Amino acid sequence: MYKVITYYYEDEEKIKELYSQSKTLWGEHICYTRNAIISLLNGTKDVDAVSTRLLKNQEEIAELLFPYYTRANVEEYTGVLKEHVKLAVDLIKTVKAGDDATAATKAWYDNGEAMLTWMENENPYYWSRIVTKPLWNDHLKYTMEEVTKRMKEDWTGDIESFDNNHTCMHKWSELYATGIVYSNMELFSKKKPHVTEPKK
């Protein structure tokens, strides 16, 4: 009698696509955030359009979680990400006006803490705060450096901060994708049946 054994192996194409999507979307987050910073500080007419596109980007980032996480989880994470953008806009406006930004800064970082808590609760192994918090806080730091350096017309420093932020988000995108893939490995695997002949 022949025996069929089923092996499972990684679906490399599906994994590669998820990593590519994560890299693209988090990269867009950095770019549209920069657009928003420039538009807000310059008071240009495209502020609403840029802000709308940035919020859509947050929806797209959260949507990567589905179907690996429930629809309710996706919607919850979307809300946290959108709040990140709205609080960033409030903070930039406060800094531009020269007002005390202590409360606005705290609200922005508190939102980050809420996001990191959500991620750790959902995926404590791959999205542990030990790994996520330093990287996310770097993102917040570099973003505000872009704001303050542009206001000082330190163009070289502004570009350096953006480059640092871009590198930071590339690392973050890989972390994000890794958490999705390797905590749902059964959905990123293929079956390969192998027929063995009976021993004589």
Closest Cα to residue 80, out of 55, 105, 106? Answer: 55
**Residue 110 included in any domain:** yes
**Residue 65 included in any domain:** yes
pLDDT in tens, 142-188: 999 999 999 999 999 999 999 999 999 999 999 999 999 999 988 88
- Check if the beta carbon of residue 197 is closer than 8 Å to that of residue 2: yes
Phi/psi of residue 4, nearest 5 degrees: -105, 120
**Residue 168 included in any domain:** yes
CA–CA gap between residue 60 and residue 55 (Å, rounded): 9
**Residue 5 included in any domain:** no
**Residue 104 included in any domain:** yes
pTM: 0.88
**Residue 175 included in any domain:** yes
**Using the 8-state DSSP alphabet, how is residue 3 labeled?**
E
Confidence band (pLDDT; 50, 70, 90) for 6? very low
- Residues 59-74: what's their mean pLDDT? 94
Record the tokens describing residue 134, joined without a space: 């330093």
Q: Which phi-psi region, left, alpha or beta, contains residue 51 (left: φ > 0; alpha: ψ -120 to 50)?
A: alpha
Q: What residues make up the domain containing 96?
A: 10-196
**Residue 121 included in any domain:** yes
- pLDDT over threshold 90, residue 85: yes
Count structural domains, the chain.
Answer: 1
Residue 54: C-alpha distances to residues 14, 25, 72, 92, 185 (Å): 26, 10, 22, 15, 30
- Check if the beta carbon of residue 38 is closer than 8 Å to that of residue 153: no
**Residue 148 included in any domain:** yes
Count of CB atoms within 10 A of residue 15's CB? 18
- Residue 191: per-residue pLDDT: 65
- Residues 74-89: what's their mean pLDDT? 96
- pLDDT over threshold 70, residue 15: yes
- pLDDT over threshold 60, residue 86: yes
Taking every pair of Cα atoms in the chain, the longest distance, rounded to a whole number of angstroms, is: 86
